Amino acid sequence: GAGVSQSPRYKVAKRGQDVALRCDPISGHVSLFWYQQALGQGPEFLTYFQNEAQLDKSGLPSDRFFAERPEGSVSTLKIQRTQQEDSAVYLCASSLMGQGWSEAFFGQGTRLTVV
């Protein structure tokens, strides 16, 4: 595709429900990042993949958060037993290279509201 695509754009979940957020990176991009952006704040790092390998998951706030990228392309961020504090925009970004710097292209995010 032309850019990073995230779905759904909006998700409302009842407290305790499980949710799955999808990210389609730009084709051929090696690196994929997930960020969480609370209302009125800057994005905060959650996790990083280089191809299918999850190299850094230090930002995941609890063991209720799980991310995967099994074939090195599409990635899914799963949140189990959602809590109100999980309400945020979840941003995905991909970049061409796995080493050094290459520009990160962001999707439009998924806005998760837990009620």
Partner 1 sequence: AQTVTQSQPEMSVQEAETVTLSCTYDTSENNYYLFWYKQPPSRQMILVIRQEAYKQQNATENRFSVNFQKAAKSFSLKISDSQLGDTAMYFCAFMKHDSGANSKLTFGKGITLSVRP
| Residues in touch with partner 1 (CB under 8 A) | 30-31, 33, 35, 40-45, 48, 50, 55-56, 59, 89, 91, 93, 95, 97-104, 106-109, 111
Q: Which residues 6+ apart lie within 8 Å of 23 measured at CB? A: 4, 5, 6, 32, 34, 74, 75, 76, 77, 92, 94, 107
* DSSP per-residue codes, 2-21: -S-EEE-SEEEE-TT--EEE
Q: Which is nearer to partner 1, 45 or 66 (CB)?
A: 45
Q: How far is the CB of 83 from partner 1 (least distance, A)?
A: 22
Q: Output 6 or 82, the one with its CB closest to partner 1.
A: 6
> Left, alpha or beta for 76 (phi > 0: left; psi -120 to 50: alpha)?
beta
Nearest distance, CB of residue 86 and partner 1, angstroms? 17
We find the least distance from the C-beta atom of residue 44 to partner 1, in angstroms, to be: 7
CA distance 68 to 48: 10
Nearest residue (CB) to partner 1, 9 versus 15: 9
> Please, what is the minimum distance in Å from the beta carbon of residue 55 to partner 1?
6
